[in-house]
Amino acid sequence: MKFGRRAFLQFAAGAVGGTLLSPMPWRLADDTAIWSQNWSWRPSPERGPITTVPTVCTLCQGGCGIQARLVNGNRAIFLEGNPVHPVNAGGICPLGAAALQYLYAPYRIEQPMKQTRARGEAAGFQPISWSEALDDLVKRLARLKSEGTPGGVACITGSRWNSMDDLWARFFSAYGSPGLFKMPSHSDSLRATAKLALGKDSPLAFALENASYVLSFGAALVEGWGAPARMQAAFMRWQKNGAGKGAAKLVQVESRCSMSAAKADQWVPVVPGTEALLALGIAHVMVKENLYDADFVSRGVLGFEDWTDMQGKVRSGFKKIALSAAYAPDQVAARTGVDAAKIQGLAREFASTANAVAVWGGGQHNVPGNIYHEMSFFALNVLRGNLKSGGLVSLVPDVPFQPADDQTAASAEGGAPQVKLGSVPGTRVPLPGNGIYGFLDILTRGMIPPLEVLFVHDANPAYSLPENKIFKAALDKVGYVVSMSPYMDETAMTADLILPNHAAFEGFEDVVGLPGVPYAYYAVSRPILKPRKDTKHSGDVVLQLSKALGGNVAAALPWASYEEYLKNRVNALAASKRGAVADKKDIDLSRLQSSVSVSPNFKDGTDLWKKLTGGFCWYDVPVDVRSALDTDSGKIELAFRAIQGKGLNVEDDQVYLPHFKPLPPSGDEKEYPLLLLSYGMLSLSCENLANPPFMTKTLWDFVLKKNDLFVEVNPSTAGPLGMSEGSKAVLKTPQGEVAVRVHLSQAARPGAIYMPQGLGHTAYDEYIQGKGVNSNSVVEVQVDPITGMGTVWATRAQLRRA
């Protein structure tokens, strides 16, 4: 049979028709559709019941109430603010919202590690067991103690607003070493100021929620300023009236148009570093025009009028200094760049508006400031009468943990010759504050014997200590570095032994007080998950070491676990019968008055522990400054009377009073014609936690582009240097040289370079490593001669085309 054209067409039509009638094409189409949706290499999250667990965030010191969403009780998928918590009322900061990325970070350390090769070699880390690691450490510590050289052990910790702070202090007191140092913080300055003026060893606190006029000298208020969520809530309250008319006026004095400046009702641009001069200019106008609280100042302040020093010599008071020609509006205007009329206007407004408060600091790196400048800002609050009972400035209250008969504290002190923790041997500063820089300095220069053991806990000084090469240089004088970081950070990389701590939310933690906050606060953070790695809480490590060391150290730290220790503290807190638990919505802690005490709403320690681990916080009324005052004169002291007995006795009356005295940056002005300043953002983590990927995604492409960091420069500064937007440049300071790119911005003051903090990590993973430049590697630390604390205000710099 001939297969003709017609037969072929018939067959083809039949085949098409037949196929269409069969289920095959439909099955195929369906399969294709299913196949196209079935991307097996794409993760499919495991399903299960979703539960919510309340706890408290411990990533920073802000004390926010949060709740975690768990799948099947073993997988944390989301963190959100706890709506009943009085600090954040349901809100959360970006770090909190991204916090689970730390828990599940690939750069977490699996188990204890020992460096078997040269320090810093990543390949040299070998896993060891906990018992092996701790045995080795105990041997070293026991040997040093028995040889009578416990001073060979030191610790750098980032903990200051939790009970680890106290635990370390007990350990070091009992062990007999003074070498307990904290990472620098602006609260060191607020503490030093309070110590000087009020005689109290607690940081100053500001009732910002109740202010209706906030004069901020470079304080990074909306960028965090101590307790970020609390500041956001305060800012919300200032904006409350709506319709663009705030309930409070915010005036930001700063050289750069930061977020705080942009959000302020008035931005007062100044020459970098002259904020304190402007404060003194305002004080001048207030004193001259009699705009200060004369009644309060004459009755409660020493050193405003002329005063008599310890030798009976009459010295001029702050009134005379403030009225001197150097602080007259014309003089101040010439140096700060703010019009004389504007200075007068600010002074009058500050003096006449009800509930006006001056705040300062914490913008550039979280470091202490120059004590003369801190006291100048503080003086404005004194003139305004803000330290009266119920005033806007007071102290961060202590949390009453200590029962009257504390045996353990006694044995902690009794063990060794009295040591003052954190003191720097041979120091000559009159009023020593945080001594970390002094200590690292004398260690590097060989003025004290090399350290045998250095613990680094809750800190990453190799990265986040401003002028971080100071830490790196000191490491050469340390025999054995023990890192307690849960993450493979820059400091862990240089360690000899890593004893990984739990990540946040894996163990019991607590929050003791909130920085800058006038009410008393305590919260317990309960774990939301079992530890994911073979880690141990650093508190448990300290307790185990103490137990193994025996003797008075074991007696001073008798608790079986850190959890038990916390329970013990909560029992003591309950026994004090003070404060209450905020277990209802809409409790307004800012309305608390020192004169109206709150009645406890908990039965005993067990009940309080139950409430605290349920995500609620404990609070108590603010401190009454008047009754807390502990100075020799019984008054608020504007004159630094105390320094006279401490080896500083000079003729110049100014030395004893707040005045403008910038610490000169090093380097030749001709070689380094510009000033480098750094800035922080709430959306870029800059201390011991590396920025999580979620937050890195939100960075502007004019802050970070590929791996290049951009510095902000005013076009009028960049133009003559031959630079345009995105130009590659070399930034050189006396501390080092780095490659950057230039972002032209009118937010930048001409003559200054502004660099973001928080980039330039060399450790961690591909999501953070090698991105940008670490500002801590180029800034310079100037040591305050009165307190010995390292300050950072500006670094001389040079910018040239690359």
Q: What is the rounded distance in angstroms from the CA atom of residue 656 to the CA atom of residue 650? A: 9
Using CB under 8 A, which of 103, 283, 346, 393 touches another protein? 103
Q: How far is the CB of 121 from another protein (least distance, A)?
A: 24
Task: State residue 50 phi and psi, 5-degree precision.
Answer: -105, 130
Q: How far is the CB of 746 from another protein (least distance, A)?
A: 4
Burial track 178-200 (b if 16+ CB lie within 10 A, e otherwise):
bbbbbbbbbbbbbbbbbbbbbbb
Q: What is the rounded distance in angstroms from the CA atom of residue 802 to the CA atom of residue 793? A: 26
Q: How far is the CB of 246 from another protein (least distance, A)?
A: 8
Q: Are 647 and 761 in contact (CB under 8 A)?
A: no
- Asked whether position 391 contacts another protein by CB under 8 A, the answer is no
Whichever of 66 and 570 has its CB closer to another protein, that residue is 66
- Asked whether position 130 contacts another protein by CB under 8 A, the answer is no
In the shown chain, the binding pattern of residues 192 to 231 toward another protein, with x for contact by CB under 8 A and - for none, equals ------------------------------xx----xx--
Q: Are 363 and 254 in contact (CB under 8 A)?
A: yes
From start to end of 689-794, where are the E strands? 704-705, 708-713, 728-733, 736-744, 752-756, 782-783, 790-791
Q: What Cα–Cα distance (Å) separates residue 228 from each residue in 96, 233, 444, 585, 729?
A: 11, 9, 36, 20, 34
Using CB under 8 A, which of 65, 86, 96, 432 touches another protein? 96
- Asked whether position 765 contacts another protein by CB under 8 A, the answer is yes
Helix, strand, coil content of the chain in percent (nearest 5): 35, 20, 45
Q: How far is the CB of 62 from another protein (least distance, A)?
A: 10
Using CB under 8 A, which of 58, 61, 232, 775 touches another protein? 232
Whichever of 70 and 608 has its CB closer to another protein, that residue is 70
Using CB under 8 A, which of 155, 197, 198, 257 touches another protein? 257
Whichever of 11 and 700 has its CB closer to another protein, that residue is 700
Q: How far is the CB of 100 from another protein (least distance, A)?
A: 5
Q: Which stretch binds another protein (CB under 8 A): 232-240, 275-283, 311-319, 637-645?
A: 232-240
Whichever of 166 and 765 has its CB closer to another protein, that residue is 765
Beta pairing class for 636-637 and 301-302:
parallel
Whichever of 745 and 798 has its CB closer to another protein, that residue is 745
Q: Which parts of 16-55 interact with another protein (CB under 8 A)?
A: 33, 36-37, 39, 41-48, 50
From start to end of 201-265, where are the E strands? 204-206, 213-217, 249-254
Give one word for 72, left, alpha or beta, with left for phi > 0 and alpha for psi -120 to 50.
left
Give one word for 34, left, alpha or beta, with left for phi > 0 and alpha for psi -120 to 50.
alpha
Using CB under 8 A, which of 699, 711, 713, 789 touches another protein? 699
Q: What is the rounded distance in angstroms from the CA atom of residue 227 to the CA atom of residue 86? A: 13
Whichever of 652 and 766 has its CB closer to another protein, that residue is 766
Q: Which amino acid is at 485?
A: S
Whichever of 436 and 747 has its CB closer to another protein, that residue is 747
Q: What is the rounded distance in angstroms from the CA atom of residue 332 to the CA atom of residue 690? A: 41
Q: Which parts of 52-91 interact with another protein (CB under 8 A)?
A: 69, 71, 75-81, 88, 90-91
Q: Which parts of 142-201 interact with another protein (CB under 8 A)?
A: none
Task: State residue 342 phi and psi, 5-degree precision.
Answer: -65, -40
Q: Which parts of 536-595 interact with another protein (CB under 8 A)?
A: none
Q: How far is the CB of 439 from another protein (least distance, A)?
A: 35
Q: What Cα–Cα distance (Å) separates residue 702 from each residue in 707, 713, 756?
A: 12, 12, 11
Using CB under 8 A, which of 406, 534, 632, 701 touches another protein? 701
Whichever of 237 and 578 has its CB closer to another protein, that residue is 237
Q: Which amino acid is at 5?
A: R
Q: Which parts of 668-687 interact with another protein (CB under 8 A)?
A: 681-683
Total chain residues near another protein (CB under 8 A) = 81
Neighbours of 589 (CB within 10 A): 21
Using CB under 8 A, which of 267, 292, 318, 616 touches another protein? 267
Q: How far is the CB of 77 from another protein (least distance, A)?
A: 5
Q: Which stretch binds another protein (CB under 8 A): 277-285, 513-521, 562-570, 699-707?
A: 699-707
In the shown chain, the binding pattern of residues 274 to 313 toward another protein, with x for contact by CB under 8 A and - for none, equals ----------------------------------------
The contacts found for 238-245 with CB under 8 angstroms, 24 or more apart, are 238/211, 238/214
Q: Which parts of 727-746 interact with another protein (CB under 8 A)?
A: 746
Using CB under 8 A, which of 8, 11, 26, 104 touches another protein? 104
Q: How far is the CB of 180 from another protein (least distance, A)?
A: 33
- Asked whether position 341 contacts another protein by CB under 8 A, the answer is no
- Asked whether position 720 contacts another protein by CB under 8 A, the answer is no
Q: What is the rounded distance in angstroms from the CA atom of residue 198 to the CA atom of residue 683? A: 36
Exposed (0-12), middle (13-18) or buried (19+): which is 588, by Cβ within 10 Å? exposed
Q: Which token pair is 124?
A: 């040299």
